[in-house]
Amino acid sequence: MSERLATHGLARDFGAGAGVFGIDLTVGAGEIHALVGLNGAGKTTLMRLVLGMLHPAAGTCRINGLHLADLGAAGWARVGHLVESPFAYPELDVRTNLLLAARLRRIPTPDAARLVERALTELDLGRYARIPARRLSQGNRQRVGLAAAIQHHPDLIVVDEPTNALDPAGVIVLRDALTRRAGAGAGILVSSHHLDEVARIAHRISVVNRGRIIGTLDPDATDLERAFFTLVYDNEQEHPR
């Protein structure tokens, strides 16, 4: 299985114990790799490092075999992401926002228009296509952000707490969309605090605590929550503050 993402010794120290420290991580083609951890564990920081939003103090990160510095515009166009809040121009309607997102990834306008129409259907946003983003509910803004992240069928998808604000129907739509992308060969890195939800789609689950990967969970195991808290508790006892 070829690697869409690989990090080795990735680190960024913000002081007072905040940051990430020596992260080794891979995401293969066709794989959904989930990160779980308590608030402040370092999941979002790790994703921002992977996406070049933060510069590491140490370690390396490769996407499709290339160091981030060598990836170039064409390489970044093969990445989709939603980290923290979804971005959309508030005065523009949903269709125009998605079209701009596709064009920013160098997709020609006719092809971009076709992708947008498919994304509107896939994420069940068709009824909102002509609605300005500022008038959308939080859940529908999240759907727009997710559509922008995956509509161009990227090689690597990085999504941080993607089910935020989604209703049950939206969670199912997202689950199906990510599963389809993985089935088509994308590598997906997803963070979530909903263990049962990520277990439905993840091939691997890594537990993050205090900026380090401290263990893994079997997505098919029973009582994942107990296993998760046992890992975190044992780590806290081994490395008290």
The pLDDT score that the predictor gives to residue 85 is 85
Per-residue pLDDT of the chain (241 residues; tens, 9 = 90+): 589 999 999 999 999 889 999 999 999 999 999 999 999 999 999 999 999 999 999 999 999 999 999 999 999 999 999 998 898 999 999 999 999 999 999 999 999 999 999 999 999 999 999 999 999 999 999 999 999 999 999 999 999 999 999 999 999 999 999 999 999 999 999 999 889 899 999 999 999 999 999 999 999 998 999 999 999 999 999 888 7
The pLDDT score that the predictor gives to residue 239 is 82
CATH 3.40.50.300 fits 1-78+156-241, yes or no: yes
β-strands 58-63, 3-15 pairing: antiparallel
Q: Break the chain into its structural domains and give their ranges.
A: 1-78+156-241, 88-153
Cα–Cα distance measured from residue 18 to residue 211, given in angstroms and rounded to the nearest whole number: 7
The pTM (predicted TM-score) of the whole model is 0.96
β-strands 79-82, 66-67 pairing: unpaired
